[in-house]
Structure 1
Amino acid sequence: MTTVTVVATGPLATIQDLGRSGYAHLGVPCSGGADRASLRLANRLVGNRESAATIESTLGGLRVRADGNALAVVTGADAVVRVNGTPVGLGAAVVLRAGDELSVDPPRWGLRNYLAVRGGFDVTPVLGSRSTDTLSGLGPAPLAADTRLPVGSETDEWPPTQTAPPNTEHPPVVELEVHEGPRTDHLVTASDLYAGTWVVGADSNRVGVRLDRPGDSPHPLLKHRPDAGELRSEGVAHGSVQVPPSGRPVLFLADHPVTGGYPVVAVLSAESVDLAAQLAPGSEIRFRAR
């Protein structure tokens, strides 16, 4: 059996697939890859089923060693990918021989990368998924150095191409498209969400992206209507934009809770959820109504 050994993890590396859907009524988040488009692309480039388990790394620093022959690829944030120290390209499948070491540099833009190997990583599934859920603790523990990961058999047909050109255009302000949420009437001025820009806070994680106004912003934080009353806890969708009493919006990502008691004033489009998953602290964003 081929295995891959984790040499270094960087700030955080976890196993992620497309998540454990269908358990929200039991209070279990879906979890899965934060940037699902990049996860799916990585699996397609090595001929896996899109649902195969990958490694999601955060802010680079990931290093793995192949203990046998393997076909591997890295997608996601704009980072330099190396094999034995030599750059090999982002979004380009490479053959690893026994002893080869693949590494991911800290991204020049973005936050998360996805390492797929042909066959996927065969860790024990929990409720039908191999994903690490950082909120509930379900699934495998975050990866650590010297962890050996068996390669599985979740393969599909060989892909027509094994490269995908990376996106190297990174606007200074990222635009996120949203649908209107069900609780806009709980804000004093709902249009304030779309006024000016917001900046990503350092307290963001796989649960949610936390926003604040830039220091020189003339635009206000969001305010709850004092006469709107207290909300009962209700279901929260993936990509929801929730506004706590602080007035700082939270964009819910893969490990978000399934219920919440603060107003959801917008919901990100699927493409914008993936974009939000790549927002590093300090990034500026603006919202655009769909």
Structure 2
Amino acid sequence: MSDPERTALLVHRVGGPAYVEDTGRPGQAGIGVGRSGAADRAAHALGNRVVGNAPTAAAVEVTLGGLELEVTGPAGAVVWLCLTGAPAPLVVAGREVGPGALVAARSGDRVAVGTPTRGLRSYLAVRGGLDVPAVLGSRSHDVLAGIGPAPLQPGTVLPVGEEVAGQPVVDGVPQAAAPTDDEVVLRVVRGPRDDWVADADVLVSGAWRASSRTDRVGMRLERGGTATEASEGLLRPADPDASLPSEGATRGALQVPPSGEPVLFLADHPVTGGYPVVGVVVDADVDRAAQVRPGETVRLRWADIPTDRETGGT
């Protein structure tokens, strides 16, 4: 039940999964809890910057649109909003505004996030942040650990935090141009266990497809084409009888289970894993990976890492 004296967002409809996310809970791996946080960290930070929040403020992560909210609270209450990430129509009180725009919504207004034209996850930032209870120092929902604010559903009330000092300094941010091709290219460095597969270069040969089993935990990559072509393009163990003890895992790691289909770890990845990590997506590309839709084509390529001589090191 919402407090009539406090400004909040009341959820009326949810399309794809929608979660409250901030920058996560670092430093908890020792008790088996990963960092979590926004899957596309840059988009989350950009939304907070537009509305004038601290980078750590909690926002709503919306998967493939379909979210409808209502501003509730005292008469005349105003909240400032910005939608970033996957570019989607944002309709406020019946008026459509472009993604990346700073827009005011008043008590009683409906706010709807449409289906994005590309990408997977959009971020609805609210000036003041979302003041839901924190768990282990974070307001992020962790799909794997099952902690943090529950996934949004009709009737969920999201209190808006206290007004922050100062005023927003921009009225919006431009959206990146649409990609000119249908493939997503991710740069990869060799992983610590690349010798556990017969040929790690298979990882960067040919195209992969994001599986329908993709979620915040990770994205499974599969081969397209005929069954024979798909089978021949998988990563095979160098020694089928070898056993690898569990090791620490990180966002961006490409782990290869017995199926031979690599799994790219995302925001809610496990803190340990027992399958070999044959590559790691460079951190600058992990946010892009979080925007890949199931069924889209992904190509991996080895990153050009400068040598010590090239960088002036010793």
**TM bucket normalised to smaller:** over 0.9
Superposition RMSD in Å: 1.5
Task: Give unpaired runs (5+ residues) of structure 2.
Answer: 1-5, 304-314
Match of 1:151 in 2: 160
8 Å CA contact 2:52, 2:169 repeated in 1: no
Query: What amino acid maps onto 2:96 in structure 1?
Result: P
TM-score (norm 2): 0.89
Moved more, 140-149 or 223-232: 223-232
**The 10-residue stretch of structure 1 (38-47 or 93-102) with the greater mean CA deviation from structure 2:** 93-102
Q: 1:286 aligns with which of 296, 299, 302?
A: 299
Change (3 A) 1:120 1:273: same
Q: Letter of the aligned partner of 1:250 in structure 2?
A: V
CA distance in 1, matches of 2:284, 2:94: 33
Q: 2:288 corresponds to which letter in structure 1?
A: L
Matched, 1:267 2:280: yes
Supply the distance in 1 between the matched residues of 2:269 and 2:166 (Cα, whole angstroms). Answer: 34
Q: Which has the larger radius of gyration?
A: 2
Task: Write the mapping of 1:57-136 to structure 2, written as runs, cut at 5 A.
Answer: 57-67=62-72, 68-136=77-145
Relative to the length of structure 1, the TM-score reads: 0.96
Q: State the SS of the aligned residue for 1:14.
A: strand
Quick one: which of 220, 230, 251 aligns to 2:233? Answer: 220
Q: CA deviation at 1:153?
A: 2.8
Residue 44 of structure 2 corresponds to which residue in structure 1?
A: 39
1:276 is aligned to 2:289: yes
* Structure 1 residue 159, shift from structure 2 partner: 4.0
1:2 equivalent in structure 2: 7
Indicate if the aligned counterparts of 2:235 and 2:260 stay in contact, CA closer than 8 A. Answer: yes
Aligned to 2:60: 55
For residue 309 of structure 2, what is the aligned residue in structure 1?
none
Task: Tell me the distance in 2 between the aligned counterparts of 1:227 and 1:242.
Answer: 16
Kept in 2: contact 1:49–1:156 (CA 8 A): no
Q: Quote the Cα distance in structure 2 between the aligned partners of 1:227 and 1:132.
A: 37
The letter of the residue matching 1:223 is R
2-side partners of 1:230 and 1:153: how far apart?
Answer: 53
Given candidates 137, 140, 150, the residue that maps to 1:141 is 150
Equivalents in 1 of 2:163, 2:146: separation in Å? 25
Partner SS state of residue 209, structure 2: strand
Are the counterparts in 1 of residues 143 and 268 from structure 2 also a CA contact under 8 Å? Answer: yes
Residues in 2 aligned to 1:285 and 1:214: alpha-carbon distance in whole angstroms: 11
Aligned residue pairs total 290
Matches within 5 A, 1:203-218: 203-216=213-226
Q: Does the 8 A contact of 2:188 with 2:302 survive in 1?
A: yes
2:312 alignment partner in structure 1: none
Deviation at 1:98, TM superposition (A): 1.1
- Spell out, residue by residue over 1:204-233, the C-alpha distance to the aligned partner (whole angstroms, 9 max, x if none): 100001110112557611111126721100
What's 1:172 paired with?
Answer: 182
- Alignment partner of 1:193: what SS? helix
SS in 2 for 1:110: coil
User: What is the letter of the counterpart of residue 270 of structure 1?
Assistant: D
Deviates more, 1:3-12 or 1:196-205: 3-12
Q: Deviations over 1:17-38 (max 9, x none)?
A: 0000001121101111111110
